[in-house]
Structure 1
Amino acid sequence: MPTRQRKIAIMGFRSVGKSSVTIQFVENHFVDSYDPTIENTFQKNQKINGQDYMLDVVDTAGQDEYSILPQTYFMSIDGYILVYSVNSRKSFDVVKVIYDKLLDMKGNIKVPVILVGNKRDVAEQFPGERAVPEDEAKSLAKEWDVPFMETSAKEHESVKEVFSKIIMAIERVEGNEPEKPSCILS
């Protein structure tokens, strides 16, 4: 099977860990220093369900509720990872705005999206720091009909799974989902 090219945008409010999640996935290490990202694209080969993928991961600049999203974020992107920080209510509110803008720009089609709550390690270490209950995020993901995960880029927790899930969401939307084995009763 030929390698499939997929372009994924990672989007969210500033300092939620978009670059940390991306670099942890691509280079397997945590970047502790924070330099605001303008925009970077990373490449990684990944095998998922026996299929080889060449992933272009677009690590976007942090968005806020007033950001005008560039047309390039809609033209060539196959799927979107929307990241908020579990210890920031504002970042959770901003991903809702980003999601609405994506739907507006993409039109009435099903948009491959995964909702990701990052910095789970902070919420576990300092429970009083959690600003977004996991159940609330799960409800939002259910309302949107998209996968949801919490991650810790710092602890390398569930980072690889995020990218596997967005690839599977893209494949489903494109009609390439592997057939589930059928059960025949006789």
Structure 2
Amino acid sequence: MGFGNPFSSQGKSSLTIQFVEGQFVDSYDPTIENTFNKLVSVNGQDFNLQLVDTAGQDEYSIFPQSHSLDIHGYVLVYSVTSQKSFEVVQILHDKLLDMVGKVQVPTVLVGNKKDLHMERMIKPEEGKKLADSWGAAFMESSAKENQTAVEVFKRIIMEMEKADGNTQSEDKKCCVM
């Protein structure tokens, strides 16, 4: 078991890599910010999705301005096995809204590590209630399962399209926190 920043253990990088590369990576350096590009088809339309996998965020994080410029949507990830990560994701959402200067942005709240049944601390209903309070979409996923990772990123594209009024922009930029 690796030791490190407990806030970066929600599995967002593993989720991103599962989606982009189709493989599960358990250990990943949480201090590195990466950008990935992936062509994804949603409802018969192809989108070029650019993903910014942010460096490990905690409640003391100061967001760089780059996390608000030209970003169309946000995927906020917590671990269903960690009460602390669930609390931190709420603080991050508040900071995110302050940074972008809006009351609502296209967001998918993701409860990751749903496969760890015995270690679960956050019930699906709690995540759904939080997402509803934000006007966000909610999903649970496992970075070990390619299909749930794919569904997360298809969902954020649908949320971005809805916010855009279904304008046919094929380039979408998403930030994963």
TM-score (norm 1): 0.82
Number of the residue aligned with 1:171: 161
User: In the alignment, does 2:15 pair up with 1:21?
Assistant: yes
Q: Is residue 71 of structure 2 the alignment partner of residue 81 of structure 1?
A: no
Q: How many Å separate the matches in 2 of 1:68 and 1:23? A: 24
Whole-angstrom CA distance in 2 between matches of 1:73 and 1:102 = 9
Unaligned runs of 5+ in 1: 1-12, 179-186
Deviation digits for residues 145-182 of structure 1, max 9, x if unmatched?
Answer: 1110100011335111111110011011111179xxxx
Find the counterpart in structure 2 of residue 40 from structure 1.
34
2-side partners of 1:50 and 1:155: how far apart? Answer: 23
Residue 49 in structure 1 maps to residue 43 in structure 2:
yes
Which TM-score applies when normalising by structure 2?
0.87
- Cα distance in 1 for residues equivalent to 2:44 and 2:167: 12
Q: Which amino acid aligns with 1:66?
A: Y
Q: Which has the higher contact order (CA 8 A, sep 6+)?
A: 2
**Residue 66, structure 1, aligned to residue 66, structure 2:** no
Does 1:98 pair with 2:92?
Answer: yes
Aligned partner letter, 1:58: V
Residue in 2 that maps onto 1:152: 142
Number of the residue aligned with 1:134: 124
Match of 2:102 in 1: 108
Aligned residue pair count: 162
TM-fit CA distance, 1:39: 0.3
- Matched to 2:113, the amino acid is K
Quote the RMSD (CA, aligned, Å): 1.5
Q: Do the aligned partners of 1:19 and 1:37 also contact (CA within 8 Å) in 2?
A: no
Judge conservation of contact 2:58–2:88 (CA < 8 Å) in 1. Answer: yes
> Runs ≥4 in structure 1, deviation > 4 angstroms?
none
8 A contact 2:13–2:28 mirrored in 1: no
Larger CA Rg, structure 1 vs 2: 1
Q: Identity over the aligned pairs, expressed in percent?
A: 59
What is the CA–CA distance in structure 2 between the aligned matches of 1:33 and 1:171, rounded to whole Å? 33
CA distance in 1, matches of 2:73, 2:65: 15
